[in-house]
Amino acid sequence: MKLKDIKTWVTVPPTGIGGSFWVLTKLTTDNGIEGIGECYGIPVSGDISCAMVEDTFQRFIAGEDPHNIETMFRRVYSAGFTQRPDVSMMGVFSGIEIAIWDILGKAHDVPVYQLLGGKFHDRLRTYTYLYPKDLTPGADAPDVYHDGDAAAERALEYVEMGFTAIKQDPAGPYSFQGGRELSLHELSRSEYNVKRIREAVGDKADILFGTHGQMTTSSAIRLAKRLEPYDPLWFEEPCPPDQMAAISKVAEATSIPVATGERLTTKVEFHEALKAGVSILQPDIGRSGGIWETKKIAIIAELFNAQVAPHIYCGPIAHAAAVQVAFSSPSFLILETIQTDFHDNILQKPLIWEAGYMPAPDKPGLGIELNEKVIEAHPYSSGGRLHLEMCQTVLDSNNQKTIDEIS
């Protein structure tokens, strides 16, 4: 059995939930087995992302036995004489590698987790962001991101659905300038949101406080002190991802577990995070190096008595791949989830939740199949938005623009 062909798509979720577009892959072997994968967050246009994926497949993957995961990883990891963590190339490779594992599972007629050490967990605990009820673009929905009262009301609705953990990130925006000092208004807004959510859910749900690396070390510590009375399960990416020493200082200064990882790649960078005192790793399997590399990251976490909470802000294929690693990993903590109509519709059968938990899939490979007609009905326009984008405005420590917009 050899890897023979590749097909790629860029599809656009109508609500924008999960990113502006998703890069999807389909690999076929010379004996007709197909596997599907997903790349996360390649920082170029969708059409260019597809060209990168196809070029990488032809250079390093085509003609290879799909069992030779290590060989293919090392080829791509070293591409262009780099041989170091590269977010773009690992995003490219991850989407290919996930599809290869889907093929392997189908070839051996087992779910992928059976090839990764077997099923360790009977079900997976999941969490959700606070999303407004109406996801229609332009809908006049309550601001659950910045309005603490609206956030509390929505959080309680998710608890009633069965979720036992809810995440919010009210400390934005996230400027390209890197770390900055939050304004007193932003600090107070963040504290109020968490306070109101805790009052609403009590001890029925954990609160996960997300940020996106927008703070200086001192600002992150100031915010952490305000949040500590409400006992969040974690404080996520408090400083920019290239400031691991700063994240280490924050971890030392707060009782809240520090989490990070959505913008890191390969075991190399996650090992540095663990050494810095990060206790919850958040690899995104479409960027971290794929299924095998993410499994290694989960194993390394055990050596630091740390846990893994896979990041999911993408489509359902990467989600399904993260599920396979999570079921096989003792260090698994909780899984981010996204469920919209479009997430469901691009699959022949949607992913399954049972009151906030995911049961173990029992079908071979990833256990899902694409609905290619739906994918192709939502194409990407060349030169459109990136998957995710930073705020392109420099913000000062008073952040008057944000205050004016919210007030």
In the predicted model, what is the mean pLDDT of the chain?
94
What pLDDT is stored for residue 404 in this prediction?
52
Closest CA to 42 of 267, 369, 321, 265: 265
The predicted-structure confidence for 113-129, as pLDDT tens digits, reads as follows 999 999 999 999 999 99
Asked if 385 and 26 count as a contact pair (C-beta separation under 8 A), the reply is no
pLDDT, position 142:
84
pLDDT at 172 over 80: no
What per-residue confidence (pLDDT) applies to 77? Answer: 98
Residue-level pLDDT at 401: 59
pLDDT value for 91: 98
pTM for the predicted model, two decimal places? 0.95
Mean pLDDT of 269-280: 98
Contact 201, 225 (CB under 8 A): no
Report DSSP state, residue 80: G
Mean pLDDT within 378-390: 87
Structure tokens at 157: 């609705």
Q: What percent of the chain has a predicted confidence (pLDDT) above 90?
A: 86
Mean pLDDT check: name the lowest of 68-77, 364-373, 378-387.
378-387
Report, as an integer, the average pLDDT of 105-109: 98
pLDDT value for 37: 98
- pLDDT of residue 407 exceeding 50, the answer is no
- Nearest Cα residue to 181 out of 96, 109, 238: 238
For the stretch 35-55, pLDDT in tens is 999 999 999 999 999 999 999
Over the stretch 291-309, which tens digit does the pLDDT of each residue have?
Answer: 999 999 999 999 999 999 9
**What pLDDT is stored for residue 145 in this prediction?**
87
Which one has a higher pLDDT value, 397 or 50? 50
What pLDDT does residue 405 have?
Answer: 54
Residue 103 confidence (pLDDT): 98
Q: Which amino acid is at 265?
A: T
pLDDT digits (tens, 9 = 90+) for 149-162: 999 999 999 999 99
Query: Per-residue confidence at 254, pLDDT binned at 50, 70, 90?
Result: very high
Virtual torsion, Cα 100, 269, 10, 33, nearest 10 deg: 0
Name the one residue in this structure whose structure tokens are 């919850």.
280
pLDDT category of residue 406 using cuts at 50, 70 and 90: very low
* Beta pairing partners, 165: 206
Going along the chain from its start, the domains and CATH numbers come out as 3-111 (3.30.390.10), 114-363 (3.20.20.120)
Per-residue pLDDT for 400 more than 80? Answer: no
